[in-house]
């Protein structure tokens, strides 16, 4: 199996090299059959890598512990679904996963993209092939998943217990899907520069890919937060760890791109900036992998180190040079077609939004790299932590949140005073009502007040947009409110889907601000003793230690401690947290013990109990107990955001035709009609 | 004034704001990240360093961990191969913290004049956490 896998890696490498070679040599311009082989090479690469991936999965399921990777990440007693997910548990498998998924995307993009863009496609194939080839080369020469051991262990080491969590089986692939799919927009940007087809064609061709990768990133990041929250046991979901930051960086630049690209579509401005953002997003996705894999920055999420980092660094440098040179060469062709007409315009709001997003990205990058930078400049390492990131990003984030509410209210090109007045009253009043209500119930935390007030303002904006749209439909078409709501979204997916995404974002902000009111306590209790915590809502929780029980379960030994919970004296039930020691099938300990946090969640707050160990093996136990307000709204925000994103990219519309053509053409319909409406000077709030 | 000029002014304000936030943020929240040798050298050169909060990245000396679960106090020694000093910490440590096999820790706190590092935070990372040590592999 490993031989076949190995062979397929080489086969894929040759096919991708061929495709890239043909694409960049340029001879295919006059010879259509060559162009055909360039695009067809992506199918070959994809097929070969799928076989290679199947080989690794076969090895995993067959418990072939002679394969180093299988021995490292699985054991005989590991549940089957974790055997499946062990594919991406380690570095080598992750690389294969990455290459395989990218080759699937690379082949898919060749199939689904309209013939209209035929001139771009060989270049797109060339770029995706180069990136795939890089991953294959890294595997073959630095981290081969098919490596065999000089002997066969009786059993494997098993999967890290912290990875034995349903969230962890989907978090890495989700994040990888986000990282990987950025390659497609990058390939289109490069293809448009290479082919000098610099109209908005490439943007239309890849629009859905940008939303897709943004959605994958959003979901991946949130799943990571969820995993950290339930598995790491420190009571929070975001610690500004380098690995977390690395995933946030491309998300920020992609978010900036999703907004600024609308200015290019409608006004022909920001062409250079947009190419720059796509390139930056791609580089940051590779950079993210580089810093997680190279270990150059100390992180609690430690992964394997080795020369894989060097491969990534070299690739990063080469891509930076090549793409900057190409952008520089095409610079004169990317003249803007229009100028900014007024600061009171949608364009200006989007520009400020872009500056804020890029500013946040820059500060996060700066803070993440600061230990390296300071050591290089001053000779001493200086680190910055959560206080730095919060200090810089809380104000910037709130500025961004304000723009989320302002942007949709201002017309394109130039808004009149009357228009501004008409648009801003409802949202501003909503925000004010929220602020007054919060002050009335005694909230005095400045940042939290600002966040919730702005969230109210944004909600007012979105509500007003929906309400006006529905009212117009009811009036004109005589539809019921529900039907009008339905049609409003389905006839204008991009705009209203976008608003729903905004609601998701403001929900995250509401949840983040809630953590300012977190209360926490560490206690050591004998059975019968209890601790009291006052919740931010003014309730008193009483936690009484019931005792510690120990037992064997599945592939682990468990020591569980339970607390009886009373809220204002009313019994709520029993909350349990565990220490687990995982074992292999011979009963030997694998890994260090891990903690299973006890969490009770509702819309107001989470009770979060960590059993930190017993005193000398007795029934006396140490706990960390926290009350975390509004945590559930983070996960809810992610749900809303994903629904909105899916609406935005849902194929179809009113176009008649075969299913595939409908999907492709719909991508053109929306921006064109939007542009037509949005270019009316008083078309405030119309157009996405 | 042209709109683009106004925008440039607005943009400059934002960029300057971000720059100022970063600069003051680094200045006020940045802390030293040292190895035990660097820390000992610095405190010898300038005793004022005993009062400076900083981080030290080092390895836990195997077998040096003493836990008092009742008071939640943990004492251990850290080393970078050439310098070594004791650390005391009260609080919960992550599961990854053991003295089994040369695990790497980052301790934050002050290196007191008593020669003991009083930690306010202990982060542990373990090389074998996600990747195990196995004998040298050969190619397939």
The strand ranges marked E within A367-416 are 381-383
Q: Is residue B80 part of a domain?
A: yes
Residues A579 and A642 in one domain: no
pLDDT recorded at residue A307: 74
Are both A254 and A390 inside the same structural domain?
A: yes
Alpha carbons A543 and A564: distance in angstroms, whole number: 6
Confidence at residue A609, expressed as pLDDT on a 0 to 100 scale: 96
Q: Give yes or no: residues B83 and B121 share one domain.
A: yes
Which residue, A118, A145, A164, sits at the end of a domain? A164
CA of A216 to nearest chain B CA: how many angstroms apart? 24
Confidence of residue A82 (pLDDT cuts 50, 70, 90): very high
pLDDT in tens, A431-454: 999 999 999 999 999 999 999 999
Query: How many Cβ pairs within 8 Å bridge chains A and B?
Result: 181
Higher pLDDT, B91 or A601: A601
Quote ipTM for the complex: 0.85
Report the domain count for chain A. 4
Model confidence pLDDT, tens digit, residues A139-150: 999 889 999 999
Tell me: do B65 and B39 sit in the same domain.
Answer: yes
Is the same domain home to A530 and A658? no
Inside any domain, residue A619: yes
Residues A273 and A387 occupy one common structural domain: yes
Q: Is A91 on the interface with B (CB under 8 A)?
A: yes
DSSP classification of residue A67? B
Closest Cβ opposite residue B21 in set A304, A348, A363: A363
Say whether both B84 and B121 belong to one domain: yes
Please list, in sequence order, all residues whose beta carbon lies within 8 angstroms of the beta carbon of residue A115, skipping any fewer than 6 positions away: none
Task: Report the alpha-carbon distance of residue A466 to residue A489 in Å, rounded.
Answer: 9
Instruction: Find, in chain A, the residue whose alpha carbon is nearest to that of B7.
Output: A343
In a domain, A439, yes or no: yes
Give the pLDDT confidence score for residue B102 in this predicted structure: 72
Helix (H) or strand (E) holding A419: helix A417-440
Per-residue confidence (pLDDT) for residue B137, from 0 to 100: 40
A337 domain residue, yes or no: no
- Min Cα–Cα distance to chain A from B114, Å: 24
Mean pLDDT computed over A520-546: 94
Nearest to B95 among A392, A593, A616 (CB): A593
pLDDT digits (tens, 9 = 90+) for A560-605: 999 999 999 999 999 999 988 888 777 777 777 788 999 999 999 9
Q: Which residue in A390, A450, A458, A403 sits closest to A430, CA to CA?
A: A458
Range of the domain at A26: 1-164
Please check whether residues B50 and B15 belong to one and the same domain. no
Asked whether the beta carbons of A615 and B69 are under 8 A apart, the reply is yes
pLDDT digits (tens, 9 = 90+) for A293-324: 666 666 655 555 567 888 898 999 999 999 99
- Judgement on whether residues B43 and B94 belong to the same structural domain of the protein: yes
Distance, in Å, from the CA atom of A184 to the CA atom of A111, rounded to the nearest integer, reads 13
Mean pLDDT, chain A, rounded, equals 88
Cross-chain Cβ contact A355/B127 below 8 Å: no
Would residue A342 count as lying in a domain? no
Contact B33 A2 (CB under 8 A): no
Q: With contacts defined as CB-CB under 8 Å, which chain B residues touch A241?
A: none
Same-domain check for residues A307 and A436: no
Cross-chain Cβ contact B125/A522 below 8 Å = no
**Alpha carbon of A335: minimum distance to chain B alpha carbons (Å):** 15
What is the tens place of the pLDDT at every residue in B92-137? 887 778 766 678 888 999 999 999 999 998 888 754 444 433 434 4
Assess whether A230 and A301 both reside in one domain: yes
- Per the CB < 8 Å rule, is A351 touching B7? yes
CA angle A115, A118, A120 (to 5 degrees): 135
Q: In this predicted structure, what is the pLDDT of residue A295? A: 64
Contacts of A437 (CB under 8 A, 6+ apart): none
A100 and A171 inside one domain: no
Q: Which of B 56-115 lie inside 8 A of A, CB atoms? A: 57, 69-72, 91-92, 94-96, 98, 100, 104, 106
A541/A663 same-domain check: no
Domain end, chosen from A405, A420, A440, is at A405
> Which residues face B138 on adjacent strands?
A148
Same domain (yes/no): A385, A502:
no
Is A304 in the B-facing interface, judged by CB distances under 8 Å?
Answer: yes
Residue A623 and residue A527: Cα distance in Å, rounded? 12
Q: Do B137 and A616 touch (CB under 8 A)?
A: no
Domain with B14, as residue range(s), is 1-30
**Is A646 exposed, middle or buried (CB count within 10 Å of its CB: 0-12, 13-18, 19+)?**
middle
Write the CB contacts of A109 (distance below 8 Å, at least 6 apart in sequence). Answer: A124, A128, A184, A187, A206, A209
The pLDDT, as a whole number, for residue A655 is: 37
**Residues B21 and B66 reside in one and the same domain:** no
Asked whether the CA dihedral A39, A43, A44, A49 is positive or negative, the reply is: positive
Cα→Cα distances A426→A421, A459, A485, Å: 10, 10, 20
Query: Does residue B116 sit within a domain?
Result: yes
A346 conformational bin, left if phi > 0, alpha if psi -120 to 50, beta if neither: alpha
A409 neighbors A423 (Cβ within 8 angstroms): yes
Q: Do A251 and A183 belong to one domain?
A: yes
Is-contact A39 A123, C-beta < 8 A? no
User: Is the residue at A122 inside a domain?
Assistant: yes
Q: Can you give the pLDDT at residue A569?
A: 94
Average pLDDT estimate for A664-688:
35
Give the up-direction half-sphere exposure of residue A333: CA atoms within 13 A in the CB hemisphere: 14
Residues A286 and A187 in one domain: yes
Chain B residues in contact with A3 (beta carbon < 8 A) = 140
What are the angstrom distances between the C-alpha of A7 and each of A14, A106, A451, A475? 11, 21, 55, 66
A600-643 tens-digit pLDDT: 999 999 999 999 888 877 889 999 999 999 999 999 999 999 99
* Average pLDDT of the residues in A379-392: 91
SS (H, E, C) A258-294: HHHHHHHHHHCCCHHHHHHHHHHHHHHHHHHHHHHHH
CA distance A569 to A559: 28
Residues B7 and B47 in one domain: no
User: A425 CB contacts (<8 Å, ≥6 apart)?
Assistant: none
pLDDT at A157: 83
B85, part of any domain? yes
- B111 and B49, same structural domain? yes
Give the count of domains, chain B. 2
Residue A508 included in any domain? yes
Give the model's pLDDT for residue A674. 36
A56 at B interface, C-beta within 8 A: no
Range in A18-22, A44-48, B49-53 with the lowest mean pLDDT: B49-53
Suggest the residue from B2, B4, B7 to mutate for an interface test with chain A (most A CBs closer than 10 A).
Answer: B7
């Amino acid at each position: 199996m490993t031989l076949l896998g190995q062979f397929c890696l080489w086969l894929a490498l040759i096919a991708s090299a061929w495709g890239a070679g043909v694409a960049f040599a340029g001879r295919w311009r006059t010879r259509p059959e060559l162009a055909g082989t360039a695009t067809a090479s992506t199918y070959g690469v994809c097929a070969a890598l799928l076989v290679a991936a199947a080989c690794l999965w076969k090895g995993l399921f067959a418990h072939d512990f002679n394969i180093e990777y299988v021995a490292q990440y699985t054991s005989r007693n590991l549940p089957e679904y974790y055997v499946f997910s062990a594919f991406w548990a380690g570095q080598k498998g992750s690389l294969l996963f990455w290459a395989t998924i990218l080759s699937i995307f690379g082949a898919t993009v060749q199939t689904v993209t309209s013939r209209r863009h035929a001139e771009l496609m060989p270049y797109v194939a060339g770029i995706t092939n180069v990136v795939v080839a890089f991953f294959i080369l890294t595997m073959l020469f630095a981290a081969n998943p098919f490596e065999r051991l000089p002997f066969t262990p009786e059993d494997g080491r098993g999967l890290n217990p912290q990875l034995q969590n349903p969230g962890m089986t989907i978090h890495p692939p989700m994040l990888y899907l986000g990282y990987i799919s950025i390659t497609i927009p990058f390939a289109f940007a490069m293809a448009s520069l290479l082919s000098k087809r610099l109209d908005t064609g490439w943007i239309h061709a890849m629009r859905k890919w940008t939303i897709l990768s943004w959605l994958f990133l959003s979901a991946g990041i949130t799943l990571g937060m969820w995993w950290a929250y339930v598995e790491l046991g420190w009571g929070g979901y975001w610690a500004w760890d380098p690995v977390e930051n690395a995933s946030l960086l491309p998300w920020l630049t992609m978010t900036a791109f999703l907004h600024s690209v609308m200015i290019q579509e409608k006004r022909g401005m920001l062409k250079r900036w947009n190419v720059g953002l796509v390139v930056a997003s791609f580089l940051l996705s590779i950079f993210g992998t580089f810093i997680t894999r190279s270990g150059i920055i100390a992180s609690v999420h430690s992964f394997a180190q080795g020369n894989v980092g060097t491969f990534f660094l070299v690739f990063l440098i080469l891509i930076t040079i090549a793409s900057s040179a190409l952008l520089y060469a095409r610079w004169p062709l990317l003249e803007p077609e229009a100028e900014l007409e007024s600061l009171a315009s949608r364009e200006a709001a989007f520009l400020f939004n872009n500056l804020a997003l890029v500013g946040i990205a820059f500060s996060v990058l700066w803070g993440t790299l600061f230990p390296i930078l300071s050591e290089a400049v001053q000779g001493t390492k200086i680190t910055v932590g959560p206080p730095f990131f919060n200090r810089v990003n809380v104000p910037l984030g709130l500025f961004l949140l304000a723009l989320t509410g302002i942007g949709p209210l201002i017309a394109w090109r130039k808004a009149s005073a009357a228009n501004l007045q008409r648009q801003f009253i409802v949202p501003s009043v909503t925000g004010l009502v929220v602020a007054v209500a919060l002050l009335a119930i005694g909230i005095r935390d400045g940042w939290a007040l600002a966040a919730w007030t702005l969230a109210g303002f944004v909600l007012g904006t979105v509500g007003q947009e929906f309400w006006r749209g529905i009212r117009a439909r009811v009036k004109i078409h005589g539809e019921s409110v529900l039907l009008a709501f339905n049609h409003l979204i389905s006839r204008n997916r991009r705009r209203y889907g976008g608003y729903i995404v905004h609601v998701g974002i403001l929900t995250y902000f509401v949840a983040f601000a809630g953590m300012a009111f977190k209360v926490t306590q560490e206690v050591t209790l004998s059975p019968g003793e209890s601790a009291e915590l006052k919740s931010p809502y003014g309730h008193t929780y009483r936690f009484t230690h019931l005792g510690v029980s120990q037992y064997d379960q599945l592939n682990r030994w468990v020591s569980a401690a339970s607390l009886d919970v009373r809220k204002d004296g009313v019994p709520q039930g029993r909350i349990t947290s565990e220490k687990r020691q995982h074992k292999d099938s011979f009963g030997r300990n694998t890994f260090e013990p891990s903690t299973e946090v006890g969490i009770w969640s509702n819309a107001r707050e989470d009770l979060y109990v960590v059993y930190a160990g017993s005193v000398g093996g007795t029934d006396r136990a140490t706990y960390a107990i926290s009350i975390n307000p509004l945590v559930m709204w983070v996960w809810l925000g992610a749900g809303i955001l994903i629904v909105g994103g899916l609406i935005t990219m849902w194929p179809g519309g009113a176009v008649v035709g075969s299913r595939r053509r409908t999907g492709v053409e719909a991508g053109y319909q929306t921006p064109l009609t939007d542009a037509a409406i949005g270019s009316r000077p008083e078309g405030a709030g119309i157009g996405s | 004034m042209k709109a683009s000029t106004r925008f440039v002014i607005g943009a400059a304000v934002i960029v300057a704001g971000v720059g100022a936030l970063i600069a003051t943020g680094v200045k006020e929240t940045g802390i030293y990240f040292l190895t035990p040798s660097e820390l000992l050298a610095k405190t010898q050169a300038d005793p004022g360093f005993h009062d400076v909060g900083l981080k030290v990245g080092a390895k836990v000396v195997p077998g040096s961990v003493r836990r008092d679960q009742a008071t939640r106090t943990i004492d251990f020694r850290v080393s970078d191969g050439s310098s070594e000093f004791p650390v005391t910490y009260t609080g919960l440590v992550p599961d990854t913290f053991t003295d089994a096999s040369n695990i790497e820790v980052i301790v934050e706190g002050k290196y007191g004049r008593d020669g003991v590092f009083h930690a306010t935070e202990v982060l542990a990372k373990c090389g074998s956490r996600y990747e195990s040590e196995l004998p040298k592999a050969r190619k397939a």
